[in-house]
C-alpha cells in the first residue's frame, strides 16, 4: 500500500505492473540505505509533470525516497534481468547498479518508471560495486536533459542525490544516485534474456506487456508480434536519424542500451560532435570504432536483428517463414532511416519540398565540412543566420559553388525567405552540450559550485531559441581540450 503522506503530500502514485511478469524477469531488492543522502539537483518541471510536489521531494522523507532509503510501497524495489550483446558478445547482464522503485502514474494518466541508478549491489552486479560517482550521474542529468530540449526521445533525470559515502574509481569520488525517468526500461536485451534463458511463453508475455505499455494503438490482428517488431524498427529509424541530425554519438549501442520504446538510454560515454567527422568516437573503450558516428544507423540495424531473432517463434510456426518475416521487416530499416534522415537534413537547409538532387546538396555540404574541419552545429547556424562566413570552408570557391546551388534550390520552392529562415531556426540548435562546457560544469560541481551547471542546463533546455545569452555557449573548445575522451563503467 502507498504510504498516505507520500501519496497525498508528495504526489507519489506508484504502480508495479512489471512484477506481474514471470518472476525470472526481475529480482526483489531489499532496502540498502546510504549513510547521509543529500539532494544535489532536482528537476522541478519534470517533477511537476509527474505529479510530484518539489517542496516535499526536497524534504527529509522526499530525499530518503530518492536515495532508496525508504520505500513508498512495501517491498516494491526490483532490479530487472537482461542479457545482451556488448560490443558484439552475448553476456548475462541486468540492473547491476539500479533499482526500480515503481511506475509513477502521472495526473494525465501516463506511466513512467522511476529508477535509482547507483543504488548499490543487486544479484546482477557481477564484479561491480553497484554504485555510481557524482560526476557521471550529473553528466547523465545534463546530457539527457539536453536531448529532451532538442526534442529527441530520451529517458530523463528527476534528481541527483549524494550518498555521503565514497566510491572508488581511478581515485576516490563522492557517491551519488540518479533518479531516472523512462517510459519503461524494457530493452532489446530484456527480450534476449527471455529468448535465451526463458521459454517461448516468457517472450510472449514480455511482448504482450510491451505492446500494451508502448504500442497500445497497434492493431491486435492475426499477428500482433509482427506489428511490435515493425513499431520498434520505426521508433529506432526515427531515433537514430535524430541523433545523426544533431551530431550525437551514443558511444555504447549495446543491445542492453536500446529501449523498446525508442528512447535514448544509458548516457555513459556519449558526447556531441564538435568538428564534423563521421569517424568520430569518444569512448575510450571503443578502440575499433564500432559505435562511431557514421556506424550508428548500421549498429541500430544490427541490434534490431538481435531483437527480431528473439521474436521468431512468435512470428510464425514455421521457422523459415518466421525468418523471412523478420528479415523483411528489418530490411525496411535502412529506407525508413534514410527517409527520416533526409527529411531532417532538408529541414536543416530550409528545404520544404523534395527533389532528387537534395541528397547530393546535403552530402556535398557534409564532405566540405569534413574536409575543412568545420564545426557541425555552427555550420548550420552560420547558414541559418548568414553570418561568420569569413574563414575556413566559407571562403573557398568550392563553398561558393555549393552555396549558389543551394540558393537556387531554395528558389525552386514556393516558400518565402522568411519561411526558410524560420524552418532553419526550428531545425538547427544553436547550443548543444559541448564537451568542454559539460566538463567545466562538472569540475565546478565537484568543488561544490552548482551554478555553472545550473546555467548550462538553462541554456541547453532551449536550444532553438537563438538568444543573445546563449551565444557564449556556441563557442568552440580551445584546441588543447581536443580530442575529447569519455569513459564508461563509472
Binding site for ligand AMP (CB under 6 A): 93-97, 124-125, 128-131, 252, 256-257, 266, 268, 488-489
For residue 480 the three cell numbers come to: 588543447
Torsions phi, psi of 381, nearest 5?
-70, -40
According to CB under 5 A, which residues from 244 to 273 bind Mg ion? 256-257, 266
HSE of 486, CA atoms in CB hemisphere, 13 A: 27
For the CB of residue 42, give the shortest distance to ligand AMP in the complex, in Å. 23
387 burial level (CB within 10 Å; 0-12, 13-18, 19+): exposed
- 369 DSSP 8-state letter: H
Contact between 95 and Mg ion by CB under 5 A: the answer reads no
For the CB of residue 91, give the shortest distance to Mg ion in the complex, in Å. 11
Residue 94 site contact among Mg ion, ligand AMP, none (CB < 5 to 8 Å, cut-off depends on kind): ligand AMP
For the CB of residue 257, give the shortest distance to Mg ion in the complex, in Å. 5
Does residue 192 sit in helix, strand or coil?
A: helix
Residue 103 site contact among Mg ion, ligand AMP, none (CB < 5 to 8 Å, cut-off depends on kind): none
Q: CB of 84 within 8 A of CB of 187?
A: yes
Residue 263 site contact among Mg ion, ligand AMP, none (CB < 5 to 8 Å, cut-off depends on kind): none
| Cα distance between residue 193 and residue 246, in whole Å | 32
Place of cell 502514474: 105
Other CB atoms within 10 A of residue 446 CB: 14
Query: CA separation (Å) from 42 to 330, 354, 362, 378?
Result: 40, 44, 40, 31
Q: CB of 210 within 8 A of CB of 311?
A: no
For residue 137 the three cell numbers come to: 550521474
Radius of gyration of the chain (CA): 23
Residue with Cβ nearer ligand AMP (265 or 368):
265
Residue 162 site contact among ligand AMP, Mg ion, none (CB < 5 to 8 Å, cut-off depends on kind): none
Residue 84 site contact among ligand AMP, Mg ion, none (CB < 5 to 8 Å, cut-off depends on kind): none
For the CB of residue 488, give the shortest distance to ligand AMP in the complex, in Å. 5
**Catalytic annotation, pick one of 256, 266, 274, 286:** 256
For the CB of residue 268, give the shortest distance to ligand AMP in the complex, in Å. 5
Contact between 145 and Mg ion by CB under 5 A: the answer reads no
Residue 93 site contact among Mg ion, ligand AMP, none (CB < 5 to 8 Å, cut-off depends on kind): ligand AMP
Residue with Cβ nearer ligand AMP (169 or 421):
169
Contact between 140 and Mg ion by CB under 5 A: the answer reads no
Residue with Cβ nearer Mg ion (6 or 266):
266
Residue nearest ligand AMP, Cβ-based: 128
Query: CA separation (Å) from 303 to 57, 144, 250, 253, 397?
Result: 38, 22, 14, 8, 42
For residue 467 the three cell numbers come to: 538568444
| 366: Cβ contacts below 8 Å, ≥ 6 apart | 276, 278
Bridge partners of 78, per DSSP, are: 28, 100
For the CB of residue 254, give the shortest distance to ligand AMP in the complex, in Å. 6
Whether 390 is a known active-site residue: answer no
Residue with Cβ nearer ligand AMP (282 or 380):
282
Residue with Cβ nearer Mg ion (257 or 378):
257
Residues designated as active site: 256
Residue numbers at the binding site for Mg ion (CB under 5 A): 256-257, 266
Amino acid at each position: 500500500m502507498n504510504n498516505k503522506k507520500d501519496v497525498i503530500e508528495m504526489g507519489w502514485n506508484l504502480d508495479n505492473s512489471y512484477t506481474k511478469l514471470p518472476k525470472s524477469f526481475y529480482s526483489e531488492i531489499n532496502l540498502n540505505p546510504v549513510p547521509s543522502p543529500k539532494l544535489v539537483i532536482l528537476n522541478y518541471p519534470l517533477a511537476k509533470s509527474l505529479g510530484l510536489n518539489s517542496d516535499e521531494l526536497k524534504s527529509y522523507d522526499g530525499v530518503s525516497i530518492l536515495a532508496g532509503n525508504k520505500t513508498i510501497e512495501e517491498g516494491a524495489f526490483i532490479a530487472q534481468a537482461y542479457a545482451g550483446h556488448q560490443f558484439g558478445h552475448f553476456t548475462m547482464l541486468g540492473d547491476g547498479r539500479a533499482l526500480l522503485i515503481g511506475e509513477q502514474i502521472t495526473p494525465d494518466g501516463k506511466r513512467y518508471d522511476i529508477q535509482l541508478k547507483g543504488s548499490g549491489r543487486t544479484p546482477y552486479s557481477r564484479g561491480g560495486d553497484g554504485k555510481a560517482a557524482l560526476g557521471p550521474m550529473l553528466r547523465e542529468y545534463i546530457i539527457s536533459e539536453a536531448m529532451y530540449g532538442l526534442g529527441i526521445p530520451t529517458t530523463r533525470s528527476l534528481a541527483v542525490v549524494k550518498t555521503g559515502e565514497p566510491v572508488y574509481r581511478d581515485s576516490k569520488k563522492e557517491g551519488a544516485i540518479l533518479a531516472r525517468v523512462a517510459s519503461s526500461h524494457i530493452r532489446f536485451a530484456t527480450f534476449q534474456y527471455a529468448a535465451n534463458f526463458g521459454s517461448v511463453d516468457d517472450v510472449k508475455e514480455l511482448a504482450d506487456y510491451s505492446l500494451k505499455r508502448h504500442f497500445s494503438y497497434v492493431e491486435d490482428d492475426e499477428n500482433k508480434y509482427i506489428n511490435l517488431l515493425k513499431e520498434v524498427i520505426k521508433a529506432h529509424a526515427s531515433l537514430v536519424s535524430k541523433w545523426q541530425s544533431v551530431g550525437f554519438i551514443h558511444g555504447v549501442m549495446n543491445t542492453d542500451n536500446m529501449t523498446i520504446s525508442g528512447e535514448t538510454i544509458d548516457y555513459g560515454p556519449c558526447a556531441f560532435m564538435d568538428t564534423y567527422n563521421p569517424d568520430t568516437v569518444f569512448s575510450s573503450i571503443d578502440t575499433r570504432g564500432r559505435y562511431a558516428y557514421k556506424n550508428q544507423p548500421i549498429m541500430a540495424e544490427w541490434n534490431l536483428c538481435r531483437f527480431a531473432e528473439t521474436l521468431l517463434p512468435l512470428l510464425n510456426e514455421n521457422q523459415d517463414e518466421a525468418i523471412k518475416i523478420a528479415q523483411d521487416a528489418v530490411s525496411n530499416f535502412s529506407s525508413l532511416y534514410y527517409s527520416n534522415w533526409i527529411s531532417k537534413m532538408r529541414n536543416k537547409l530550409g528545404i520544404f519540398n523534395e527533389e532528387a538532387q537534395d541528397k547530393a546538396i546535403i552530402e556535398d555540404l557534409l564532405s566540405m565540412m569534413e574536409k575543412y574541419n568545420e564545426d557541425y552545429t555552427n555550420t548550420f547556424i552560420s547558414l541559418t543566420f548568414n553570418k561568420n562566413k569569413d574563414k575556413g570552408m566559407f571562403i573557398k570557391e568550392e563553398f561558393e559553388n555549393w552555396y549558389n546551388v543551394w540558393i537556387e534550390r531554395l528558389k525552386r520552392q514556393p516558400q518565402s525567405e522568411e519561411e526558410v529562415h524560420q524552418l532553419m531556426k526550428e531545425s538547427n540548435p544553436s547550443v548543444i552540450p559541448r564537451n568542454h562546457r559539460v566538463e567545466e560544469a562538472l569540475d565546478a560541481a565537484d568543488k561544490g559550485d552548482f551554478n555553472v551547471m545550473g546555467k548550462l542546463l538553462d541554456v541547453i533546455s532551449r536550444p532553438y531559441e537563438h538568444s543573445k545569452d546563449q551565444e557564449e555557449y556556441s563557442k568552440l573548445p580551445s584546441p588543447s581540450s581536443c580530442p575529447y575522451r569519455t569513459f564508461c563503467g563509472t
